[in-house]
Chain A
């Protein structure tokens, strides 16, 4: 069981900055994120795109903002459960919470701060009838264990990096690799595109473009898929696996069933006070929350994280008096023993 003071769900910019504000109050944080790396959308969707409205930064790349935040919170030693989705929450008699992920990792904390953005990133599923019936029966949206495909026939669909890279990789594992894409053009890295061309010429990848998978066949397990080229009759292709790789899209997911008030696909919070939800002890900050006048901006998430931490402190230590301190005045005492502070003025007489 992982124990912490504030359990943050979502390691995007808002969740990361919450670690800093909590650290100033000597509260420890642990973050859960469905993605394998911290940074949320900034890292997953647009790391190389500039952001112009972070106060004090005339221009900053989204990926650099994440790197900077990671550096800023380093003294407060945040810990992470990455690549796992927060699935269930349980409120104990003492008012604390246990959050369990889809892989069964349990986390215990008195405060839960949901900084989940637009939700956890899930694979995009193509609209093919009965697709769901074949999940884990030959249809996989993520390749977790390539060995599963050893000496099997695999059909991959998609036109991005992951479709290209896995097609290349599986040529050494699977008995037959087919790549199906709706266009003749691919948008992946040039190296990958050229490699696929080379493997196609060698007959190691069966490339079918422009085409789409339009049906899946099989009784208990996938045995074939139907490939349709525009304006032509579908052909049936025998296969053991069908792997659609169409990228990820955020979905609010299991959090929607936690008994929180939801409005417009977001969690309602009290914006007059501390961004707490209808369940005391659970807060929602950043893009995942909603209140009158809500703006989905990183800078607003930072503000919400700050107020949330002050309220969390009061909740954990109801009897302690505290006033806000300025980092310029008090410096920063890291949990790792480091200290940052403004240089002291030196008094020295001039003779």
Chain B
């Protein structure tokens, strides 16, 4: 039985959106942002979700246990701008039932 989760996404203008994300469609956070058009097309998910562009960088504000960072993601963040300790690439965060209540903020466009 599939389960939808509720997450809070703060866009680049500082507006917080409460959205519902499916967990059965192999969607990641970057795709959820795009599906709700919370960032203009062409400014997020540029590489398509391969952890190769950092356009989906976000700051994670809740203390959910997230998937461990891959070497690719870590190295991409090492070259991204506006990086903080809680930075992650949205494309590397898969939507799973454990992420119910997740709170994230999109990093500035760069």
Residues of A with C-beta under 8 A to B81: 124, 126-127, 246
Q: Is the interface of B mostly helix, strand, loop or mixed?
A: loop
Q: Are B79 and A247 in contact (CB under 8 A)?
A: yes
Q: Are B79 and A158 in contact (CB under 8 A)?
A: yes
Residues of B with C-beta under 8 A to A41: 47
Q: Are A45 and B79 in contact (CB under 8 A)?
A: no
Residues A45 and B47 in contact in the complex (CB < 8 Å), given A118-B42, A265-B42: yes
Q: Are A127 and B82 in contact (CB under 8 A)?
A: yes
Q: Are A264 and B75 in contact (CB under 8 A)?
A: no
From residue A335, how far is it (CB to closest CB) to chain B in Å?
A: 35
Which residues 37-77 of B sit at the A interface, judged by CB distance below 8 A?
40-43, 46-47, 50, 52-53, 55, 75
From residue B106, how far is it (CB to closest CB) to chain A in Å?
A: 15
Q: Are B47 and A46 in contact (CB under 8 A)?
A: yes
Q: How large is the interface on B (under 10, 10 to 19, 20 to 34, 35 or more residues)?
A: 10 to 19
Q: Are A265 and B79 in contact (CB under 8 A)?
A: no
Q: Are B50 and A182 in contact (CB under 8 A)?
A: no
Residues of B with C-beta under 8 A to A132: none
Which residues 139-172 of A sit at the B interface, judged by CB distance below 8 A?
158-160
Residues of B with C-beta under 8 A to A182: 78-79, 83
Residues of A with C-beta under 8 A to B79: 158-160, 182, 187, 246-247
Binding site for B on A (CB under 8 A): 41, 45-46, 49, 118-119, 124, 126-127, 158-160, 181-183, 185, 187, 246-247, 249-250, 252, 264-266, 290
